[in-house]
Structure 1
Amino acid sequence: MVLKSFASPEWRLDKPIHTERPVKVICIGAGASGLQLAYKLQKHVSDFSLTVYEKNPEASGTWYENKYPGYVTSLCSVTFHALTDDNGGSCACDVAAHNYTWSFEPKTDWSGVYASSQEIYAYFNDFADKYGLRQYIKTQQQVVGAKWTGSGWNVSIKDLTTGETANDTCDILVNAGGFLNKWKWPNIPGLDKYKGTLLHSANWDETVDLKGKSVGLIGNGSSGVQILPAIQPLVQEVTVFMRNATWVSALPGFEGRQYTDEERRRFAEEAGHLLAYRKSIERGNSSVLPFMIKGSEDNNNLREYMLNNMKAKLAEKKELEEKLIPTFALGCRRLSPGAGFLEALVEPNVQVVFSGVAEVTEEGCKCDNGTEHQVPDVLICATGFDSSYRPRFPIVAGDKNLQDVWAQDPESYLGIAAADFPNYLMILGPNSPVGTGPLLIGIEAQTDYIVKMIDHWQTHNIRSFTPDVAAVRDFVAHKDQFMPKTVWSDPCKSWYKSGSSNDKVTALWPGSTLHYLETIRQVRFEDWRFEYDGNRFTYLGNGQSQTETNPDSDWAYYIRDEDDDLPLARNKMTKIINKTGSVVVAEGNGEGAFFLASDISVVTQHEILMYKHFSG
């Protein structure tokens, strides 16, 4: 018998149908997304090789990188509250800690309702250790280029310890590098002239002591809003430079508190208690979309509450009210987690300057109106990230570079892929569910989808796959038709729109997170263009099934006493997946809340306040 080359599809002719071929995957980034991909591949895929290139010395992405006082990641979800821990201002997450976990990987011993960055960093590192994921990760290795060869990718990687560049190859390239990851200095003349200490919120120097210093703070986006209340009690004086109005949230029911020993005991020991608690919070996290519909009763009620709350906390200082409270729709920009920010603005050691900074001088900032303000000790640029989705390195297929293609208007297929870039997949690409509900379950759904695409490649003689140009065009058209009815399309400067007030909404999914989960649960292969090596039906192999390769399997598995098949139709299957009938609605006095039918006792005042607020 003539031996078939494994590189040729002909080798399949001697194998059963759907025999898997080896697949080599490169993943860019070992943050939460990269770790989840490694976990899913290890769990579901056979005969794979994976290398995760990570530019930082350690894994965990944003939880390793961001260390500025009061840091709260703006990607957690939509429950908009910042807090600091008892040690004086370490960063934290504005999602209840028990829900900033993978859906299948609870943690029973969170210290409080909201967790510090150290705890979350430990969670993701423990996850990597528990499942042996570090074997796939190479740290301090930065991907600097990728080129499609016609059958795979050549990837260039810079060793950040030596400065040397090496090459690697893969069949499938996955970009899990994140999009709010490339921090940038503001485009302000004179930054190099400043004689004090210059800091950026995303490149924080923890050795800098702010006590008793004269400090300038540029920016009142999420970073600036979080930094001010953390540093205000420490500094002698702080001058805050603001160009834009912003909604600052302080919603009831989200106050941080530490869990008692008894609460942690119940989470760890009582069967079903923690699960029911997590589910009750997650239902609130998934209820955000109605509040983002422009002119809706939900949005109007929330806006009225926020307006009154901001006025009260600004101590009726009319200038602050007029300049800081927006006229654009609530939610047009992501609500800034604002515990203590508004109160800090009225403290005597805080000066608020409503002007852009035109120039940085040796000892301060000269504003657009010509006024110069002295801040000789420390200048903090809380000016955020490059949110354009434009890749940080060349990704080239044929005569196209994704950096150029996405320079103005990034267009993806369902946040997962780009037209004309074969075997290239993304996690949290443009128009992913990053602001319409829980985030981590969206990452899980995207990695599930990627695993399905990899499995399809392995079990067929596919050379390349890419989303059809027409499918991408139609998805983008639907997204653009949906967005005008939401508050996100209002004229405000937002990273939802790549930092512009006029661009299309490029960051958000046109619907809820639950809507996204149903959208990508099944792969629409009709939206993809496949190219094959040889006859596409070579995968049929030698005429035998996979069942026949396993003598210990049941070769009569379809003979049964009754029809116990799961539903074949999509919506009936959805009812099985979402456990229709397992939840009851408790109502009374015009108020209601959703609870698991199996355990209503676990609902706490936190969840009740949360639901009552969001239900108006």
Structure 2
Amino acid sequence: MTDHDAKEALRDDIRWENPIHHERRIRVICIGAGASGLLFAYKLQRSFRNFSLTVYDKNPDVSGTWTENRYPGCACDIPAHSYTYTFFPNPNYTHSYSGSEEIRKYFQRFASTHGLDRYIKTEHEVQAATWDDAQGKWVVKVKDSKSGEVITDTGDFLINATGFLNNWKWPDVPGLDNFEGDLAHTAAWPEGLDLHGKRVGLIGNGSSGIQVLPAIQPEVRSLTTFIRHNTWITKPFGKDGPREYTEDEMEEFKDPNVLLGHRKEAESGMNSMFGVFLRDHPVQQEARKIMAEEMEARLDGDKALSTRLIPTWSVGCRRYTPGPGYLEALRAPNVHVVYGGVTEVLPNGCRTSTGETVELDTLICATGFDVSHRPRFPLIGRGGVNLQDAWAESPRSYMSLGAPDMPNYIMVMGPNSPAGNGPVLLAIEAQVAYALRMLDRLQTENIRSFVPKASAIEEFNEYVDAFMEKTVWKDACKSWYKNGTTDGRVTGLWPGSALHFTEAIREPRWDDWDVTYQGNRFSWLGDGYSQTETTPGADLAWYLSNEDRTEWGSRWKRREAEILPTEETEEEDKFVQGKLVDDGVRRDSAAAVAA
């Protein structure tokens, strides 16, 4: 292109007639209306204009996994007030560990409060997404579950907020389809399933199985639980375990400062645990000793159960679960523990690996989800690369957010997100904030596409693999952190704490991204005017002040301004003063893990 042609092309750019950082119209597509998708929709409308957004969700209502999971005993396995957005508390939680129904209502209230329904299309399942390089857009095929019609949508930016606990799976056991009784999966619990007086089998002793067993044990005639793996069963986090809040406490929680103090206490406990995940850390050794003694005590000297249940591997290798009532229920007269897996499902029961045949009326599969992070639908990016194929063996993301050859694409809770490193909604907020920073540049500069560099992906995963060698997650236990394997790569967790993660992704590393432009990369400079000069009524000397109010210039100073109390925060923090440990930079505590 000649100099003359370049100048003509620049003058034809619409930005030439607009001030710097002119906001072009952008079309955004989000997949999933659970905790991640709802937050993204709220944050987008809060900070952006001149956009259109559609959030597609396969379920009939919002809240994702909390809409799907409704089995007896289903609850969050962390303190209720650590399972809220940081800015949207929930004074309506009635229990210290809330059940799925209360959590579902929380997310529904969040969506209603902020008018998010106008963006959301429920019962619409994404079938495929393809990057059209000629247009610089995503072409998305979506099936309307009610009508069966498949529609086509296009967008400048695609965010995958489907999460990692949404694609449940049946166990790979021969004869499952031949079972003539009631067959149920914990993630697709049948409405009206009657277990009263039934002979029930339960496959799986992960988080769902640990919750459902004590919930159904009192009503069934007999309950046979098939246990293949030992696991750490902890006391619930928090000083007084799972319980219903009193009327006085519920009344106190109406005071925002009182509730904030309670939330900070719970959240600080969650953020004090990271040392337990480091193999040689003193907190790991102490926690292991405390938890083994606690399990033995709750099993009341039952050596057979203790031997089978208490792991030889480290605390935290597999997600440990607060299991109120679980160990006690295993010793109930109507509970039969079978050590070993189910080798065959028969029309009227199961055959075990020991050759035992167990007759059953109902079979419950608490066998979890596909946590491979492979997309459930063809996701075809630059050069025809299908991410399903690229991640067939192991998912390798960029900082849990980006994927190879997927332009203008961000994941929330992708591979190596901090799914078990601390408060999970804190991590989701950090990822959504990152996505919006990318989207802001896409809208206000003439960027056509951005995609993580192959070298950045490779080196990030090299770091992850090296870091994981010193964690308990690499111990020889079967875990969904390693995609259901014993010795595979750790792809379900971040290489650090949850707070470490929020600092790591606060500022995009633009040098890790391949950025392409539409036309001259500087055409966003526009017509020479600032946005301030074109805003009616704006203060054209807004930068003058009697004191320095500018942003701190270093990371440490910005961090210090956030984490150290000021006079303004002392009043709201007084409720929790004296309760939080403040004896050093690292606040690891075995008591926080095991008590």
TM-score by length of 2: 0.93
Tell me if 1:368 matches 2:362.
Answer: no
SS of match in other structure, 1:50: strand
Provide closer, same or farther for how the CA distance between residues 615 and 42 of structure 1 changes in structure 2, counting only shifts above 3 A. closer
Q: Distance in 2 between matches of 1:298 and 1:190?
A: 45
Contact 2:202–2:224 at 8 Å: present in 1 too? yes
Paired residue for 1:169, among 130, 154, 176?
A: 154
Instruction: Please name the residue that 1:263 is paired with.
Output: 249
- Greater shift in the superposed pair: 509-518 or 254-263: 254-263
**Following TM superposition, by how much is the alpha carbon of 1:415 offset from its aligned partner in structure 2, in angstroms?**
1.0
Question: Cα 1:7–1:383, aligned 2, differ >3 Å: closer, same or farther?
Answer: farther
Counterpart of 1:26 in 2: which secondary structure? strand
Is 1:32 matched with 2:35? yes
SS of 1:485's partner is coil
Q: Which runs of 5+ in 1 are unaligned?
A: 72-91, 585-593, 605-609
- Alignment map for 1:458-607 (pairs within 5 Å): 458-579=443-564, 598-600=574-576
Equivalent position SS for 1:425: strand
Look up the match of 2:96: 113
* Residue of structure 2 equivalent to 1:277: 262
What is the alpha-carbon distance in structure 2 between the residues aligned to residue 569 and residue 494 of structure 1?
Answer: 40
The question of 1:396 aligning with 2:372 is answered no
SS in 2 for 1:272: helix
Does the alignment pair 1:339 with 2:342? no
Quick one: structure 1 residues 156 and 547, their matched pair in 2 at CA, closer, same or farther if it must change by over 3 Å?
same
**Partner of residue 613 from structure 1, selected from 566, 591, 594:** 591
- Residues 467/215 of structure 1: CA separation in 2 closer, same or farther (3 Å cut): same
Summarize the alignment of residues 239-318 of structure 1 with structure 2, pairs less than 5 Å apart: 239-251=224-236, 253-269=239-255, 272-318=257-303
CA gap 1:477/1:596 in 2 versus in 1, 3 angstroms: farther
The residue correspondences of 1:126-275 to structure 2 (distance < 5 A) are: 126-150=109-133, 151-251=136-236, 253-269=239-255, 272-275=257-260
Q: Please tell me the residue identity of whatever aligns with 2:152.
A: N
Find the counterpart in structure 2 of residue 436 from structure 1.
421
1:87 aligned residue: none
**Structure 2 unaligned blocks of 5 or more:** 1-6, 581-587
* TM-superposition CA deviations, 1:24-60 (whole Å, max 9, x none): 0000010111000000000011111000001001011
Cα distance in 2, alignment partners of residues 8 and 248 from structure 1: 67
Say which of 6, 11, 14 aligns to 1:11: 14
Which residue of structure 1 aligns with residue 585 of structure 2? none
User: How do 1:10-89 and structure 2 match up within 5 A?
Assistant: 10-71=13-74
Alignment of 1:86-105 (within 5 A): 92-105=75-88
Task: Indicate conservation of the 8 Å contact 2:257/2:573, yes or no.
Answer: no
Match of 1:412 in 2: 397
3-state secondary structure, aligned to 1:41: helix
Asked whether the 8 Å contact 1:9–1:533 carries over to 2, the reply is no
In the TM superposition, residue 113 of structure 1 has moved relative to its aligned partner by 1.9
Residues 612/481 of structure 1: CA separation in 2 closer, same or farther (3 Å cut): closer
Q: Distance in 1 between matches of 2:198 and 2:343?
A: 23
Please tell me whether the aligned partners of residues 211 and 234 of structure 1 are also in contact (alpha carbons under 8 angstroms). yes
Match of 1:76 in 2: none
Aligned-partner SS, 2:253: helix
Q: 1:230 and 1:597, CA in 2 relative to 1: closer, same or farther beyond 3 A?
A: closer
Preserved contact between residue 73 and residue 99 of structure 2 (Cα < 8 Å): no
- Taking the aligned partners of 1:333 and 1:6, their CA distance within structure 2 comes to 58
User: Within 1, Cα distance between the matches of 2:91 and 2:9?
Assistant: 48
Q: 1:447 aligns to what SS in structure 2? A: helix
2:583 alignment counterpart = none
SS of corresponding position for 1:155 = strand
Percent identity over paired residues? 48
For 1:374 and 1:582, the matched residues in 2 are separated by 67
1:320 match: 305
User: Are the aligned partners of 1:53 and 1:138 in contact in 2 as well (CA < 8 Å)?
Assistant: yes
Residue 89 of structure 2 aligns with an amino acid whose one-letter code is P
SS of corresponding position for 2:413? coil
Compare 313-322 and 137-146 and name the one that shifted more: 313-322
Aligned 8 A contact 2:210 2:326 in 1: yes
Q: CA deviation at 1:295?
A: 2.4
Query: What amino acid does structure 1 have at the position aligned with 2:130?
Result: K
Q: With the length of structure 1 as denominator, give the TM-score of the two structures.
A: 0.90
Contact 2:273 2:589 in 1 (8 A): no
The alignment's C-alpha RMSD in Å is 2.4
Whether the aligned pair in 1 keeps the contact of 2:402 and 2:410 (CA below 8 Å) is yes
Q: Cα offset for 1:287? A: 1.2
Structure 2 match to 1:590:
none
Aligned mates of 1:393, 1:241 — CA distance in 2: 33
Give the corresponding residue for 1:378. Answer: 362
- Equivalent residue letter for 1:27: C
Whether the aligned pair in 2 keeps the contact of 1:171 and 1:423 (CA below 8 Å) is yes
Letter in 2 for 1:614: A
CA contact (8 A) 1:583 1:597 kept: no
Q: Name the SS for the 1:496 alignment partner.
A: helix
Cα separation, 2, equivalents of 1:9 and 1:283: 55
Q: Deviation of residue 114 (structure 1)?
A: 2.2
| Aligned-pair CA distance for 1:120 | 1.3
In structure 2, distance between residues paired with 1:135 and 1:366:
51
- Native 8 Å contact 1:180 1:386 kept in 2: yes
Q: Following the alignment from structure 1 to structure 2, what is the Cα–Cα distance between the partners of residues 18 and 430?
A: 33
| Aligned AA (2:104) | Y
Structure 2 distance, partners of 1:318, 1:258, is 33
